[in-house]
Structure 1
Amino acid sequence: MTREPRPQKWARKQAAPLSETAFTLLVQGVLDYGIFMLDPQGYIISWNAGAERIKGYEAADILGQHFSVFYPPEDQSSGKPQWELETAVAEGRLEDEGWRVRQDGSRFWANVVITALWDEKGVLQGFGKVTRDMSERRAAQQALSERRRLFDHLVQAQETERRRIAWDVHDDSIQAMVAVAMRLELLADRVPEAHSAELRRLDATVREAIGRLRSLTFRLHPPGIDRHGLVEGLASHLDDVVRSSWGMDYSFDHQLDRAPTPETAITIFRIVQEALLNVHKHARGSRVDVRVTSADGGLLTRVVDDGTGEPMSVDGAREHFGVIEMRERAETAGGWWSMHSRPGTGTTVEFWVPNPLPLPASEPKDGTP
C-alpha cells in the first residue's frame, strides 16, 4: 500500500535528534499509556510497560498476535478492529472510546488512538497504537450522573409534596376557616352588642390567619415556575410579591447562555424566594436587586438589599432555618452559597449552582453481556 509522501516540517533543525535508543527507552518506560506498534495487517510487533500494566499481557505472550484480541466478542464479530485500521489508513488516524478486554477477560473502558505510519516513499509500514485506561474517569462520570439523577428526583419529589400540601391547605384548611369567618360575621350581627365586638375581633383574627395561609400556599407552590421557566418565574414573583405585596422597589438582571434544567431552575427559584422572604422579614430595606448570570459552567445568583445588614449577619443567623435551607439546596445541587453583610449597607446573598445539560433518557450499561 503506497501513497504520496507527506512533506515534513522541522521547527528546529539545529536541535540534536533524539537517539533511537533514548526514544525506545522513553516509549518503553511510559506506564500510564499502552504504546505499541502493529504491522500493516494488525499484528502486534512491539509492546511497552504501560501496555503490559493496562492489558495484563507480557511482551512474550502478546507479540505476534492480532490486536483484535483486545476487543470484546461483539466488536470482533462486527468487524470493528478491521474497520478501525481501514479508517486510520483513509484518514491518517482514528480515535475511539469503548470497552476493551484484558488478558484475564475483564473489561476496561479505553481511549484508543490508532495512527497510520508511512515511510518516505508513502508505503504503509504499520500502525502506532496508544491506549489509555479511562475506567476511573468513566466511573466518576457515571457517579456524577447518578448523583444528578438522585438530585433531580429529590427536587421533583419535594415540589410534588409542596404542591400536595398547598392544595390540601387551600382546599381543606382555608375553606374551613372561610366558613368559620362567615359564621362569625353572621353571629356578630345577631347577638347583643356586648358580645358582637368580641365576635368581630375573632372574625378579624380568623381572616388574618386565612391571609397568612394563602401566603403560605403561594410560597409552597407559586404559579409560573413550572410552566414558564426561571426568568419569567422570578420576574413574576418579584412583581407580584416584592413590589405589589411588600411595596419594595426591585431590579432584575439576567444574562443566561442557555435555559437551566427544570430542577436547576426550581433550585435557584427556591433559594431566591427564601432570600427575598428574609429581606422582607428582617432587612427593613426599601429595595432589592436580583441578578442571575451564566458563570463557570453554571449560574451565579446575587440577591442584594439596602437594609440594615445587622439581622442578616452570619453570626446572628447561622442556625436560622431559612439560611440552612438555602445553603443545603445550593450544596445538594453541587454548588456553593454565601451570605455577607455590614451594618448600614445591606446584605448580599450569593450562590452558584452548576447548569448541566439535560441527562439523556438512558445511558449505556457498563457491565459485560
Structure 2
Amino acid sequence: MKAKQQPARDVGEQFRLLVESIEDYAIFLLDPQGNVSSWNPGAERIKGYRAEEIIGRHFSVFYPSEDVDRGKPQSELQVAARDGRFEEEGWRLRKGGTRFWADVVLTAIRDERGRVIGFGKVTRDLTERKWGEEEKFGKMFRLCPVPLAIVTLAEGRFVEANEAYVRLVGYPREELIGRTVAEVNIHPQAEQRTALMKAIESGQKVRNVEGVLRSKSGEERSVLHSAELIEVGENPCMVTAV
C-alpha cells in the first residue's frame, strides 16, 4: 500500500516550523533586491534584531562599512544569482555594530522559469572558533625562534613583533607597535622596502630575499627576508621572517 502523500501546504508548514525551531543558525529570506523578507529565532539570537526591526531592510546592514563601500553585499547577490550559490567565512555585524566571524551560505531561489525570485541565507556564528585559532596562532607567533613581524601594507605600520624580532632589532616591543618601518628606520635601503611591499601586494610570496636590517644601536647586518600576505581584522598585512 502506498503511503498517503501529504498536501504541499502541510509540508510547507512543517518546514516553516522546523526553521522557526532552529536557534543555532540564522536562516532568513531576501527578496531579489536583497531586502530581508523573513527572520527566524536563530537570526534574532545571532544578529540581535527582532523580526519587526529588520524585515524590509537591506541585508547590507549586516556588513562592515568597508565592505559596503566596496559593494560586497551586491557582489554576493550577483555571484549567487549567476552560480546558484555563494559561500564564505568573514566578518559580519550584529545590531549595535559589534563584529562576529560568520560562515555564510547564500542560495538563489528560482521559479519554474528559472528566474531569480529571491535568496535564502544561512549564517552560523564561528567567533569562538576564530578566537581559538587566533589565540593558538598568537602563541606560536610569540614563541617562534625565528624573528617575525607583522606590518600593514598600506603604511608599513607595525602590528605585532615576536621576542626574536625584538631582540634582533634592539627595539622594545612597545617602541615598535603602532610605528611605521620608516619611522624606526630599520630598513636603510628604502628601495628594498618598497620592492618587498610591491611584491606582496601583487600576491607574490617572497622567499629568502637579501637585504639590510639596521638595529636601534645603528648596527647594520645582511639578512634574508621571507614574507607573505595575511589579513589582520580584514586589513591587508605582511608577515615577514628574517
TM-score range, shorter chain: 0.5 to 0.7
> Paired residue for 1:119?
111
1:150 is displaced (CA, Å) by 2.9
Structure having the larger proportion of residues in strand: 2
Give the TM-score, by structure 2 length.
Answer: 0.58
Give the Cα–Cα distance (whole angstroms) in 2 for the partners of residues 143 and 48 of structure 1: 32
- Amino acid in the other structure paired with 2:54: I
- Counterpart selection for 2:136 from 130, 133, 144: 144
What is the aligned counterpart of 1:64 among 40, 56, 59? 56
Give yes or no for contact 2:29–2:38 (8 Å, CA) kept in 1: yes
For residue 364 of structure 1, report the CA deviation from its aligned partner: 2.1
Structure 1 residues 15 and 47, CA, compared in 2 at 3 Å: closer, same or farther? farther
Residues 1:49 and 1:24: Cα distance change in structure 2 (over 3 Å): same
Counterpart of 2:85 in structure 1 is 93
| Structure 1 residue 366 displacement after superposition | 2.9
Match of 1:26 in 2: 18
Question: Which of 41, 55, 78 matches 2:70?
Answer: 78
> Shift of residue 153 of structure 1?
2.8
| Cα gap change, 1:83 to 1:151, in 2 (>3 Å) | same
Query: 1:162-206: CA deviations, max 9, x gaps?
Result: xxxxxxxxxxxxxxxxxxxxxxxxxxxxxxxxxxxxxxxxxxxxx
Match in the other structure for 1:214: none
Q: For residues 211-360 of structure 1, what are the structure 2 equivalents within 5 Å? A: none
| Aligned CA distance change for structure 1 residues 141 and 16 (closer, same or farther; 3 Å) | farther
Match of 1:55 among 47, 50, 70: 47
Structure 1 pair 151/16, CA: closer, same or farther in 2 (3 Å)? Answer: farther
Whose Rg is larger? Answer: 1
Pairwise CA distance, 1:363: 3.6
Determine what percentage of the aligned residue pairs are the same residue: 47
Q: CA deviation at 1:101?
A: 0.9
Q: State the distance in 2 between where 1:360 and 1:141 align.
A: 21
Answer 1 or 2: higher relative contact order, Cα 8 Å, separation at least 6.
2
1:66 & 1:360 partners in 2: Cα distance?
A: 40
How far does residue 367 in structure 1 lie from its aligned partner after superposition?
A: 8.1
Read off the aligned partner of 1:58 and give its amino acid letter.
Answer: R
CA contact (8 A) 2:143 2:163 kept: no
**Deviation at residue 360 of structure 1 after TM alignment:** 7.3
Q: 1:116 to 1:106 in 2, by over 3 A?
A: same
> Following TM superposition, by how much is the alpha carbon of 1:20 offset from its aligned partner in structure 2, in angstroms?
1.6
Equivalences, count: 157
3-state secondary structure, aligned to 1:19:
helix
Q: Which residue of 2 aligns with 1:259?
A: none
Q: In structure 1, what is the Cα distance between the partners aligned to 2:233 and 2:74? A: 24
Tell me how far apart the structure 2 counterparts of residues 97 and 154 of structure 1 sit (CA, whole Å). Answer: 30
Cα gap change, 1:142 to 1:119, in 2 (>3 Å):
same
Distance 1:73 1:157 in 2: 35
Aligned partner letter, 1:73: S
Question: How far apart in 2 are the matches of 1:144 and 1:367?
Answer: 19
Cα distance in structure 1, aligned partners of 2:227 and 2:126: 21
Supply the distance in 2 between the matched residues of 1:97 and 1:119 (Cα, whole angstroms): 28
Q: Over aligned residue pairs, what C-alpha RMSD do you find?
A: 3.0
